[in-house]
Structure 1
Amino acid sequence: MVNITGKRNFLDWFVLIILVLTLNLPFINVAMTSLKTNATISQSPPPLLFKPTLVHYRDIFTNPTFMFTRFLMNSLVIAFSSSLITVLICLPAAYAIVKIGIGYKFLFPFVTNLRAIPLIIFAPSVYILFKRLNLIDHQFAIIIIHILVNVPIALGLLCSFMQDVPHEIEESARLDGATELQVLSKIVVPMISPSIAAVFVLGFIYSWNEFLFALILSVKRATTLTVGASLFITAWGVQWGRIAAATTLAVIPPFLFSFYVQRYLVQVFTGGLKE
């Protein structure tokens, strides 16, 4: 019995490791490329064994055209602000839709279906609008767009999660004299706090990785880390080593953030509101 259990555990771990390596093969390849010299990167087929170097990481910190610290702070500010504001907007909206019935038949399907439209369709109009408002190369402009893009998904998820809150508890609070705002803030929000955290994390990851609008709405001051990595694509060639180094560093903040709050994600998508 012990041997069978041990073999099964070994097989489970083996399959899990193979699966993790397979799913993360693109990132592993990028990380390995960031540790290769330009000569090694140019070899075909690419070698599996090589002498690692940190020259590309040194270059992205010392390159005068690649302001890593500024790009990183722009990404953090934009991702955090857009995710937080999205949650603050969608929470009362989801409560009004699910618990009060406002906009359930028209507003909710209209907003959620907007996300099905390819975002590239809005790019020209968005650029012209923000150009006329003199908001090009401002963090505020990118934050607004990321909020608009995140709202349909966040609203749909929060409405779904909010439907699991027992109606009896809300009615008891109303009978005790609680207002709708108190019911939302003191009863509903604490009960779906893991779901709120999950929505915030998903919004943060999307905003961090978003490239299209961050590219067309930024020039220098509001450039994010994902857009900044494209600066190494020049007329003289593609600097793959520096792109790989910048990409590897760009993955670390959302990875650490997601790892820290993973228990909320697991709880929401496997057990709902259950503790």
Structure 2
Amino acid sequence: MKAAAFAYARATSVVNALELLAAHGDKAKVLSGGQSLMPAMNLRLISPDILVDIGGLAELRGIAVRAGVLVVGALTRHVDLLRSTDVALHAPLLRDAVGHVAHPAIRNRGTIGGSLAHADPASELPACVVALDATIVIRGPTGERRIAATEFFKGIYETALSPDELLVAIEVPIADQGSTFFFQEYARRHGDYAVVGLAARAVVATGRFADLRLGFFAVGDRPLLAAAAGRLVNASVTPALLAEAATALANELDPQEDQQATAAMRRHLATVLLRRCVAALLARPELEAGVAR
């Protein structure tokens, strides 16, 4: 299939992009990397009247550390995240996750801002920014606003962005001393959409979690910051306690059933990832199998 007819405008600046969005409202779509947008248009899942191309806006690219925050421009490509020494040092979870995003051709064009704005619940990066307690920076006609990543995703392909706003950057707190990370997903083949995935950030001190943020994806209509993680913080993690947390997690999830997996399968795989994550972060492999030490 081919996309329905549409107009095209190439923005010359962020201000110009906002003017175009204000003029066309919800009839416009922003084009950055286009790796999700163009297939959706070709399948006639969406049919915008006009595409506002922001791909040439250098002001929205780049990675920098400022005042204890890693700032990533919205047009930063997946491949840039993979290659960045700042990302590897301060937010390695992003680097680890991007290696699972589709294939090199997609990673060479796709952008972090496009991935977040698209808000596919099976995508890796939305769960990562939730786990990292990141802030989404948005610019609109009345100025700039910042939204916690946990509040940004509203449902399947739905975010807190208004039609006349643009996602311009992501701010990630620099990892604290003792921070450690975990990323893993189940997919039928490498590069396929995840059946279930987990992006986690923890602070470990004297063999215990001082903090633990578990961002699950492909288990609901948006990335989930699991409340069950709270059971494992400031506690001596035993197989029994981990089993309680796994049960709480399964009760917390509301996964979809589709051609890839049943809801029950997704719940089960999520609890398996929880065990693997805790065992890896605490360097206690016996916990993965639920064996008493």
Give the TM-score taking structure 2 as reference length: 0.22
Larger Rg: 1
Greater fraction strand: 2
Higher normalized contact order (CA 8 Å, seq sep 6+, divided by chain length):
1
Give the TM-score taking structure 1 as reference length: 0.23
